Amino acid sequence: MEYTHLGRTGLTVSRICLGTMNFGPVTGREDSYAIMDHAHDRGINFFDTANVYGWGENKGLTETILGEWFAQGGGRRERTVLATKLYGDMGDWPNDGKLSALNIRRACDASLRRMQTDYIDLYQMHHIDRATPWDEIWEAMEYLKMQGKILYVGSSNFAGWHLAQGQEAANRRGVLGLVSEQSIYNLVERTVELEVLPAAQAYGIGVIPWSPLHGGLLGGILKKQAAGDVQRSGSGRAADTLEQHRGAIEQWEAFCDERGEAPGDVALAWLLHQPAVTAPIVGPRTMGQFDSALRALEVSLDEAALGRLDEIFPGPGGTAPEAYAW
């Protein structure tokens, strides 16, 4: 396994982050436990979850499954850099969501109970809360740090100017501030290259891409459809965008065939070649999917290959403002 530091911190994390969103709603408890054990066996120490995972009436289920796994002992908690998120409503009552100081403290305590741990390594804001002042957010996060309940603070789905705004507010308070940003980022969806990635690099914020295969679109969807495997391609982000990108996807799968590599492996490898990226999130439903994703660490892309991928998926044209101005 390859490791790197999370942003400008001294925290060491694996170059692949295990996403747990499927644990509970799709993947049963025993299979979830097995995947997490296997992740440790393969050297992955970075796990990501969120308080809302489990969804609907089962919000919190995924964190509960992690807690049950940690409770088995054997160094499971100690060997895991644990990241979770807050923002989404966990109930129907006022202050059951968003980023008020009240909800930050309550949500953290609830996550700690579900996950049967006394601290969270990386506490992430799942979305920007435009109604809550940054001083209130940082005061609440600082209090959690003083209590030893969280170690680092990250964001998710922030715009570049949100990163700058949040970090400058932290700088004024003399605190560490944001150390990571979790954004959708893949060969199809490259909008973050305009301003999010440059802001993250300027402030030393590690980027953790979610949906690295764009919901399965980059995972060999055309071949799977031809073989009658439509479980992932029949709905969601992949189905919504396939026709829009069909020409590029045809070229993409041909490119991967020429290299003799699985499309999903190449898509992850491309992210690992991007300088702002700390670790893409891999959210397996099965052990087989997980093992397949780990092969991305063995895929090397030279300048010619990276150039060809830029031709197939050109992205926004670089960083702002040059991408749209002189």
Catalytically active residues are: 53
Nearest-angstrom CA–CA distance, 218 and 46:
23
- Give CA–CA dist 83/21, Å, rounded: 12
What's the one-letter identity of residue 8?
A: R
Other Cβ atoms less than 10 A from the Cβ of 60: the count is 22
Asked if residues 169 and 141 have their Cβ atoms less than 8 Å apart, the reply is no
Q: Residue 63 has what DSSP assignment? A: H
Exposed e or buried b for every residue in 237-261, given b needs 16+ CB within 10 A?
bbbebbeebeebbeebbebbeeeeb
Q: Are 301 and 270 in contact (CB under 8 A)?
A: yes
Here the tokens at position 142 are: 């600082």
The Cα 249–Cα 261 span in angstroms is 15
* DSSP code of residue 290: H
Nearest-angstrom CA–CA distance, 151 and 169: 18
